[in-house]
Amino acid sequence: MSGPRRLIHELRRRRVFRVAVVYAAVAFVIWQAADIGFPALSLPDWSLTLVVVLTLLGFPIALVLAWAFEITPEGVKRTEPLVEGVARPEPGGRAMAAAGVVAVFVLAIAAAWLAIRDSGSIPSVGRRSIAVLPFVNNSPDPDDEYFSDGLTEELINALAQVEGLQVPGRTSAFAFKGQAIDPRIIGDSLGVETLLEGSVVKSGDRLRVMAQLINVADGYNLWSESYDRQLSDVFAIYDDLTRAIVGALRVELGAGEEARLVSGRTENLEAYEHYLRGRYFWNQRTEAGFRTAIGYFEEAVAEDRGYAPAYSGMADAYNLLGLYYMLPPREAIPKAREAALEALEIDHTLAEARTSLAFLKSWYDWDRSGAEAEFQRALELNPNYATAHQWYAIHLYAVGRLDVALREARRAVELDPLSPAINTDLGRVLLYSRRYDEAIEQFRQTLELDPDFSYAVWELAHAYVHKGMYEDAFPEWEKLLTLCGASPEELEAVRQAYAESGWRAVVELDIESSKEEGLDPADIAREYALLGRHDEAFEWLERAYEERSFGLNLLRIDPCFDGLRGDPRYTALLSRVGLED
């Protein structure tokens, strides 16, 4: 028998061809099953590729096994070579084919196990993530933008209630407003797998909302829907849209989650529109914006006395007016407290109101244990509320729990990665931990997000001073003065003072300017302490105590106050504000 014919005869005798056909058929069935089943199990995209690769690698192995071995009643034996003129029994073809099939299953199971191990669980809902991008206002009236922004924020807040679903906060999502950017770039920036985008047309009493889900990995549309209804049906649109998104993401709602998706709503359309306008102005984070927002929140509750989110919005506005010393805390905080308690009287599960109450308990009441309990409750109600993690970190670093504060600050950044305020507070935790190099780097990264964010500029300048890098600090002071509207003459005076007497002269000028403008006395005390003028520092700390200044909460951990720590007046003041050891 010639060589090629002999080889073909031997391949047939050893059932190699049969094993190849059976292996290929079973592999194809497994590929189809994996293609259907793996997405339903929420396994990562690479798991299907792994199954295909392993089965292909297993193919030559199965052929070699079929050639070399046969399964007999006595067990597995090596297949004897064919000897001319000697009849030998056929190898166990069916058994070898079965062995090939088993090999395929073993490889597929191994691939699935690796996928499950790396994804964490089945179903891996913890890996689900979505960013809700600002809906485009296509209404005839450009002033209706508050409505499209409000719809976006409502969806962010609703989806953040779903356990196992990661939803970046409003600030991060709105960083991409009005920009045509590749979905993959946005997904990488926010660390999400899917994007929700859409548009709103509000015309008269008609409302049209279009929405679509986009897969970040390839940019393909996963789901889309449009809603064309009466404006009065806006709440039904929210409900339908939220449930459709959750369904498209294959996220299962836990007990009570479906009810929370639509909780806190008002049926009064005018109240709702006033509330959306209030949030629109509150998000501008200016004194004028806060005051305008309060007016709209008041109109909302005048329309519907049982509208808890409007009261919560009022509490947030008054809290920040006090924090930024746009309104003396003694005036701002009682109003914030009244609004927060009213919101919780209506809806005790409202995490936003709990967070507002916790903040004022910590930074105004100096009720540290009461604040701790409220923060814990807020985070139980909504673990994905970035502001709760941010303000909890502020509470924690005030009482000296810097390690836990760092964890909370980093969690807030994970939830709202492009928020300049949240990123700055992470830098403050590092600054107060005396990790100056890390703090400087964090403030620099924050200013890459928003080069004109004065809060970060101010803290970066202080970080440079504490590091002894005065030449690096001065340009930041110059920039801060420019952002605050300093005149060319004022800027020149600061430059001249720095040239003649260094950074201390700049701090002294800032003290005088702060006194003239009636700014937070605790900040003035902070700068006197930095200069080593301790008696004057304590004088202004007493003023801060009388005004219940928020800045007193930094007394225990701010490096500016390091020179005061051996003074009995410092220990006594710590005790009076609830910061004693």
Specify whether 67 is located in the same domain as 134: no
Specify whether 9 is located in the same domain as 115: yes
221 SS3 class: strand
Q: Is residue 209 part of a domain?
A: yes
Specify whether 111 is located in the same domain as 164: no
332 in Cβ contact with 318 (< 8 Å): yes
474 in Cβ contact with 494 (< 8 Å): no
Nearest to 358 by CA among 331, 580, 350: 350
Q: Whole-angstrom Cα distance, residue 462 to residue 276?
A: 37
Mean pLDDT of 369-383: 95
Q: Is residue 135 part of a domain?
A: yes
- Strand segments, DSSP code E, in 180-337 are 194-203, 206-215, 221-230
Query: Where is average pLDDT lowest: 90-104, 120-134, 238-252?
Result: 90-104
- What's the confidence (pLDDT) of residue 104? 52
User: What does the DSSP assignment read for 131-195?
Assistant: EEPPPEE-SSSGGGHHHHHHHHHHHHHHHTTSTTEE---HHHHHTTTT----HHHHHHHHT-SEE
Q: Is residue 136 part of a domain?
A: yes
State yes or no: pLDDT of 561 exceeds 80. yes
Q: Is residue 519 part of a domain?
A: no
Q: C-alpha distances in angstroms, 192 versus 184, 370, 439?
A: 9, 35, 26
Q: How far is CA 225 from the centre of its chain?
A: 26
Mean pLDDT of 542-565: 94
State yes or no: pLDDT of 543 exceeds 90. yes
Give the model confidence (pLDDT) of 107-165 as tens digits.
555 555 555 444 433 233 334 888 999 999 999 888 888 888 888 888 888 888 787 78
Query: Where is average pLDDT lowest: 105-109, 209-213, 225-229?
Result: 105-109
- Which pLDDT band, with edges at 50, 70 and 90, does 20 fall under? confident
Mean pLDDT of the chain: 83
Specify whether 254 is located in the same domain as 206: yes
φ/ψ of residue 198, rounded to 5: -175, -170
Which residues 6+ apart lie within 8 Å of 275 measured at CB? Answer: 150, 266, 296, 297, 300, 307, 309, 310, 313
Provide the whole-model pTM. 0.72
Domain boundary among 261, 290, 314: 261
Specify whether 130 is located in the same domain as 115: no
Q: Is residue 336 part of a domain?
A: no
How many helices (H) and strands (E) are present in the chain, helices listed first? 26, 8
CATH number at 253 reads: 3.40.50.10610
Specify whether 231 is located in the same domain as 108: no
Give the model confidence (pLDDT) of 148-164 as tens digits.
888 888 888 888 878 77
Specify whether 78 is located in the same domain as 104: yes
Percentage of residues in the chain having pLDDT higher than 90:
47
Q: Is residue 236 part of a domain?
A: yes
Q: Three-state secondary structure along 50-86?
A: HHHHHHHHHHHHHHHHHHHEEEECCEEEECCCCCCCC
Q: Whole-angstrom Cα distance, residue 333 to residue 320?
A: 9
Q: Whole-angstrom Cα distance, residue 164 to residue 434?
A: 35
Q: Whole-angstrom Cα distance, residue 517 to residue 182?
A: 46
∠ CA 118-120-121, nearest 5°, is 130
Q: Is residue 239 part of a domain?
A: yes
Number of structural domains the chain divides into: 2
Element (H, E) at 406: helix 402-415
Specify whether 132 is located in the same domain as 248: yes
Full domain range(s) for residue 44: 3-119
Specify whether 92 is located in the same domain as 7: yes
* Cα distance from N-terminal residue to C-terminal residue, the chain: 97
Q: C-alpha distances in angstroms, 103 versus 24, 25, 67, 385?
A: 12, 13, 15, 49
- What's the confidence (pLDDT) of residue 475? 94
Specify whether 145 is located in the same domain as 222: yes
355 in Cβ contact with 375 (< 8 Å): yes
Q: Is residue 538 part of a domain?
A: no
Domain boundary among 80, 95, 119: 119
Specify whether 183 is located in the same domain as 82: no
Specify whether 21 is located in the same domain as 87: yes
177 in Cβ contact with 134 (< 8 Å): yes
Domain boundary among 60, 90, 119: 119
